[in-house]
Amino acid sequence: KILVTGALGQIGSELVMKLREEYGSDQVIASDIRTMDGDVVHSGPFEILDVTDDQKMHDIAKKYQVDTIIHLAALLSAKAENNPQLAWNLNMGGLVNALEVARELGTKFFTPSSIGAFGPTTPKDNTPQDTIQRPTTMYGVNKVAGELLCDYYYHKFGVDTRGVRFPGLISYVTPPGGGTTDYAVEIYYEAIKKKTYSSYIAEGTYMDMMYMPDAIRAIIQLMEADPDRLTHRNAFNVTAFSAAPEDFEKAIRKHIPEFEMDYDVDPVRQSIAESWPNSIDASAAREEWGFRAEFDLDKMTEDMLKKLDSKLKNANHV
């Protein structure tokens, strides 16, 4: 059985449904700090869990006899930069609690890192799997510490920990909460609703991106990978493509020719974005567990606009 924390978030809300489809609804226990109407809560076991409550996490894991923990509960980069102390307590406190439960119950363990685990002194183009990591954001500090902690629990206690460094994730099911790459999600909503978008990230700012179906597949593929093939564990660079705001504008215009974008740069999120790589090297993930993204920018844009259009139309009919 699999316990997912942060199950109502951008990744969790889709991962839970995919895991329930693959392994059976009663095999996947979704948890989050609050409940919310919808498939995640109604299609299988759901528990209210604040991941800073170690006893509650232990009790839930024990109650369901889980053998895998997928720990997604966290504050993303922009929110973390605005509230660094809360970010440390939630991102690190939650992670330590989850790793301790994994150690006590002997479960497998997954938690995502991010391209945010790299900083301004990291080589920016084709960023290597193993390279300098001195991020200048609280989120990045959390991600580097998290990677080191997960590797420690593997080497010291034999906990089977695995992780990926996610790029910006784009999806139409649940919006991200307070990230720097969220512009790449907002632009699609605005393109459909208003045919215009004002980007808070400046023209020419390249970041790695990935469509959520590829991200979900990456998590499942890594967790099912043969452990003997893994020389890395926390965490693998993964990406689908590198893009700047104007690339999204061009891709969207192929479907909505009248779409217009302008810029209203947010200095906080712009400086976070500039401290991250332009593009990362994901060859280790390909070599060690065969990961290949399937959606490039154009293929993602076609699917995203189609799915989002019908979602927004249905929402209006409610």
Interacting residue ranges for ligand VAH, rule: CB under 6 A: 76-77, 114-116, 139, 166-169, 176, 179-181
Least distance (Å) from ligand VAH to the CB of residue 258?
29
CB of 317 to ligand VAH, least distance (A): 30
Give me the residue whose beta carbon is nearest to ligand VAH: 179
Q: Which two tokens stand for residue 238?
A: 């993964």
Alpha-carbon distance of 191 to 182, in angstroms, equals: 14
Which residue's structure tokens are 């597949």?
217
SS (H, E, C) 50-109: CCCCHHHHHHHHHHCCCCEEEECCCCCHHHHHHCHHHHHHHHHHHHHHHHHHHHHHCCEE
CB of 106 to ligand VAH, least distance (A): 29
> Residue 17 or residue 76: which is nearer to ligand VAH going by CB?
76
For CA atoms 175, 139, 2, 19, the dihedral sign is positive
Residue with smaller CB distance to ligand VAH, 77 or 278 = 77
Tell me 4's DSSP state.
Answer: E
Return the number of other C-beta atoms located less than 10 Å from residue 90's C-beta: 21
Complex with ligand VAH: residue 180 or 242, whichever CB lies closer: 180
Beta carbon nearer to ligand VAH, 40 or 184:
184
Is-catalytic flag, 139? yes
Smallest separation (angstroms) from ligand VAH to the CB of 207:
7
Quick check: helix, strand or coil at residue 243?
strand
- Which residues does residue 29 pair with via DSSP β-bridges, in sequence order? 3
**Among residues 23, 64, 139, 154, which one is catalytic?**
139
Nearer to ligand VAH, 107 or 239 (CB): 239
CA-closest candidate to residue 170, choices 110, 243, 87, 254: 243
Least CB distance to ligand VAH at residue 80 (A)? 8
Q: What is the dihedral of CA 155, 139, 10, 224, to 10 degrees?
A: -20
Cβ at position 75, least distance to ligand VAH in Å: 9
Scanning the chain, the segments in alpha helix (DSSP H) are 12-23, 39-42, 54-63, 77-82, 84-87, 93-105, 138-157, 183-193, 212-223, 245-253, 267-275, 283-289, 297-317
Residues paired with 237 in a beta bridge: 165
What is the residue type of 20?
Answer: R
Residue 2 or 80: which CB sits closer to ligand VAH? Answer: 80
* Residue numbers annotated as active site: 139
